Amino acid sequence: MAKNKEPLTYRQNVSRQEAYRIIKAVGCPLAIFALALFTISSFANFGTKLICPASGAMWIMGVIVATAMPSMRNATLVHSMTTITIYFLALLGLKMVLGVVSGVSAEMIAASYNQVIPTATGNTIPGYIQNLLWFTAVLLPVGEISYQAKQFFQFKKTQNREKTFNRVRGLRDNGRGNAVHR
C-alpha cells in the first residue's frame, strides 16, 4: 500500500486550440444572445411582440434540426447562428438608417442634389425603409424556418431511401447475388 492515499490523476494543460474552441463554442452563442437582447429591447413593443418570437422560433428550429441530423449538426448550428446574427444586425441597421432618413425633408434632398424634388419623395424614402424593416422582421424568420424544415424532411426522406437501398442490397448480397460472383 502506498503511504499517500490521494487518487492518481492525469493532468494536462489546455492547449491554445482547445481553449479557443471552448471559448468559441460558449462565446459565440452568448454574444448572439446578448445581441438578441439588445435588439429586442431597442425595438420596444415591436421587439417583444414580433422579433422575440420570430428569433426564438429560428433558434428552436435550428436546435431541433441539429438534434435530428447528427451528421449535419455542426453545419446546421453554424447556419442557424449566422442567419440569426444577420437578422439582428439587419434590423438594427435598418433602424439606424430609418432614424437618419426620417429627419430628411424633400427640401434638404433638393438642396443637396441641386435639383427640384417633389415633396412626396421626402416622405416616400422613410416609408420604403419602414416596409423593408417589416419585410426583414417577418420574411427572414419565415424563410429560415422553412429552410430548416425542408432540410429536416429531406434528410428523413433520404434516410428512409438509404435504409431501403441497404435492405435491398443486403437481400441481393445474401441471396442469389453471391452465387454469381463466385
Q: What is the pLDDT of residue 182?
A: 43
Q: What is the pLDDT of residue 181?
A: 47
Show me where the domains of the chain are located. Answer: 26-167
Q: What is the pLDDT of residue 11?
A: 72
Q: What is the pLDDT of residue 165?
A: 64
Q: What is the pLDDT of residue 160?
A: 67
DSSP string, 79-126: HHHHHHHHHHHHHHHHHHHHHHHTT--HHHHHHHHTS---HHHHHHHH
Phi-psi region of 122 (alpha: psi -120 to 50; beta: other; left: phi over 0): alpha
Q: What does the block give as the cell for 36?
A: 438578441
Q: What is the pLDDT of residue 169?
A: 66
Q: What is the pLDDT of residue 54?
A: 96
Q: What does the block give as the cell for 81?
A: 447562428
Q: What does the block give as the cell for 74?
A: 455542426
Tens of pLDDT along the chain (182 residues) come to: 556 677 767 677 878 888 888 888 899 999 999 999 999 999 999 999 999 999 999 999 999 999 988 888 899 999 999 999 999 999 999 999 998 888 777 777 777 778 777 777 667 888 889 999 999 999 999 999 999 999 888 887 777 666 666 666 665 555 554 444 44
